[in-house]
């Protein structure tokens, strides 16, 4: 356990070095203008990051989700303008279903599509992040009771550009009878929500990373910005606001870790659901506090704060908002009844005899 965690930390440290060197304001702006961060992407590919979750037989590193969590969090912290989390997920599900891994940029569409009797795909997704820049898109489709992993060539999909809060190149998909370039039966761990819980988990981890950076920027600013003759961090009002930001950051990070552990334990929906609710809530509150601490300067285009806060506002909505997931979790929880509540938290889940009181 501890050695695996060390591998995860080493990966994250390497990622941190790469991103510290390459993610600049100029790069972020060029990606917002539709350019691909090719140099960064090539570096990540050369270092083997894209295959971190792919097993060793297929040329990957064979890491678990818990192992790559620090790396994903690091991507969130830097606002890395590349589809690395999406690619990790795409390659993981492709390899797990025995499909060949494509070269180049790949992203995921978390919507659930229909596969017809002629192996043609139908369905849509209102916003697939990175789709305009990616050669391939991975999606899950249903046919009868079966689920399939489909690899789609972007060229065949007619990606409709879609503006978003992050301004990262994003596109809407409206597929009517598109033929996937590869199809395979989905691994049995992929449930009725397809890739949605997985993407929700990724976004939760990224939120934890972005909040970590916000927190660090706020502490630094509060210690240096002076008003009334002293650093604003000496005022209790500011201290308490930043303390609350810290508590939200910690909760989001723990939520992200939890989601990754649940994926490793074949319980992705539960993990993604819990995590996205908590992280989504933290994202909104955290961004609000950071803007209050920074005042007017943090509201300018020139300041770097918005590269993080716009991502937080995007990510809390991506792959199901905290509201969407909490409704689903609430429905399931109420349906399981009062007796099911505590075992759903503390286990064991297969036994239902509890002390639930009436």
Partner 1 sequence: MAQSFKFNPLQIPDELTPLRMEVRSFLLDASSDWSGWDLGHSWTCFNREFSREVGKRGWIGMTWPEQYGGHDRSALERFVVIEEMLAAGAPVGAHWIGDRQSGPLLLRIGTEEQRQRILPMIVRGDAAFCVGLSEPGSGSDLASIRSHADKVDGGWRLNGRKIWTTYAHLSDFMMGLFRSDRSKERHAGLSQFLIDIHSSGIEVRPIADLTGEAHFNEVLFEDVFVPDNMLLGSEGNGWQQVTSELTFERSQPDRFMSCFPLLPLSIDALQNNEDRLACRQIGQSLSELVVLREMSLSILGQLEQGQTPSQEAALVKELGNSYEQRTPNMVRELFDTPAVMTRGDRFSELQAYLTQTVPSFSLRGGTREILRGIIAKGLGL
Binding site for partner 1 (CB under 8 A): 5, 66, 212, 215-216, 219-220, 222-223, 233-234, 236, 238-240, 242-244, 246-247, 250-251, 253-255, 257-258, 261, 273-275, 277-278, 281, 322-323, 325-331, 333-334, 337-339, 341-342, 344-348, 351, 353-358
Residue 281's contacts (CB-CB under 8 Å, 6 or more residues apart) are: 248, 322
The C-alpha angle 278, 191, 170, rounded to 5 degrees, equals: 65
Is the CB of 119 or the CB of 339 nearer to partner 1?
A: 339
**Dihedral angle sign, alpha carbons of residues 172, 111, 287, 263:** negative
Is the CB of 8 or the CB of 60 nearer to partner 1?
A: 8
* Least distance between partner 1 and beta carbon 288 (Å): 16
Is-contact 54 67, C-beta < 8 A? Answer: no
Is the CB of 18 or the CB of 200 nearer to partner 1?
A: 200
How are beta strands 160-161 and 170-178 bridged, if at all? Answer: antiparallel
Is the CB of 56 or the CB of 339 nearer to partner 1?
A: 339
Is-contact 92 199, C-beta < 8 A? Answer: no
For residue 158, report the phi and psi dihedrals to the nearest 5 degrees: 50, 70
Coil, strand or helix at 273: helix
Residue 255's contacts (CB-CB under 8 Å, 6 or more residues apart) are: 204, 208, 274, 275, 276, 278, 279, 282
* Least distance between partner 1 and beta carbon 334 (Å): 5
Is the CB of 122 or the CB of 261 nearer to partner 1?
A: 261
How crowded is residue 138: how many other Cβ atoms within 10 Å of its Cβ? Answer: 28
* Least distance between partner 1 and beta carbon 316 (Å): 13
How crowded is residue 253: how many other Cβ atoms within 10 Å of its Cβ? Answer: 23
Is the CB of 69 or the CB of 125 nearer to partner 1?
A: 69
Give burial (CB, 10 Å; 0-12/13-18/19+) of 181.
Answer: middle
Scanning the chain, the segments in alpha helix (DSSP H) are 2-22, 25-32, 38-46, 65-78, 84-96, 154-157, 196-224, 236-264, 268-294, 305-315, 322-336, 338-346
* Least distance between partner 1 and beta carbon 239 (Å): 4
* Least distance between partner 1 and beta carbon 310 (Å): 23
* Least distance between partner 1 and beta carbon 14 (Å): 17
Is the CB of 83 or the CB of 320 nearer to partner 1?
A: 320
* Least distance between partner 1 and beta carbon 327 (Å): 5
Is the CB of 116 or the CB of 339 nearer to partner 1?
A: 339
How are beta strands 230-231 and 146-153 bridged, if at all? Answer: unpaired
* Least distance between partner 1 and beta carbon 150 (Å): 31
């Amino acid at each position: 356990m501890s050695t695996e965690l060390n591998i995860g930390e080493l990966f994250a440290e390497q990622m941190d070095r790469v991103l510290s060197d390459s993610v600049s304001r100029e790069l972020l702006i060029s990606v917002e203008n539709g350019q691909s961060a090719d140099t960064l992407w090539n570096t990540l590919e050369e270092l083997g990051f894209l295959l971190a979750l792919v097993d060793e037989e297929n040329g990957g590193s064979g890491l678990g989700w818990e192992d790559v969590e620090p790396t994903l969090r690091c991507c969130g912290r830097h606002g890395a303008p590349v589809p690395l989390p999406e690619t990790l997920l795409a390659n993981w599900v492709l390899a797990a279903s025995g499909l060949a891994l494509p070269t180049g940029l790949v992203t995921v569409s978390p919507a659930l599509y229909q596969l017809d009797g002629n192996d043609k795909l139908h369905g849509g997704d209102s916003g697939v992040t990175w789709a305009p820049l990616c050669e391939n898109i991975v999606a899950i489709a249903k046919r009868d009771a079966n689920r399939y992993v489909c690899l789609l060539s972007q060229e065949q999909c007619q990606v409709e550009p879609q503006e978003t809060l992050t301004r990262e190149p994003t596109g809407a998909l409206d597929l009517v009878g598109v033929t996937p370039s590869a199809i395979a039966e989905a691994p049995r761990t992929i449930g009725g929500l397809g890739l949605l819980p997985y993407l929700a988990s990724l976004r939760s981890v990224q939120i934890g990373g972005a909040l970590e950076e916000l927190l660090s920027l706020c502490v630094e600013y509060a210690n240096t910005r002076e008003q009334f003759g002293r650093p604003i961090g000496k005022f209790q009002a500011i201290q308490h606001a930043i303390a609350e930001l810290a508590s939200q950051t910690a909760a989001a990070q723990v939520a992200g870790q939890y989601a990754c552990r649940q994926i490793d334990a074949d319980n992705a929906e539960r993990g993604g659901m819990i995590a996205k609710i908590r992280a989504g809530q933290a994202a909104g509150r955290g961004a609000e506090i950071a803007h209050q601490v920074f005042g007017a300067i943090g509201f300018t285009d020139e300041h770097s704060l918005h590269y993080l806060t716009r991502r937080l506002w995007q990510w809390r909505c991506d792959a199901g908002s905290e509201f969407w997931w909490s409704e689903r979790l609430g429905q399931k929880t109420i349906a399981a009844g009062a007796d099911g509540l505590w075992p759903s938290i503390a286990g064991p889940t297969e036994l239902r005899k509890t002390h639930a009181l009436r």
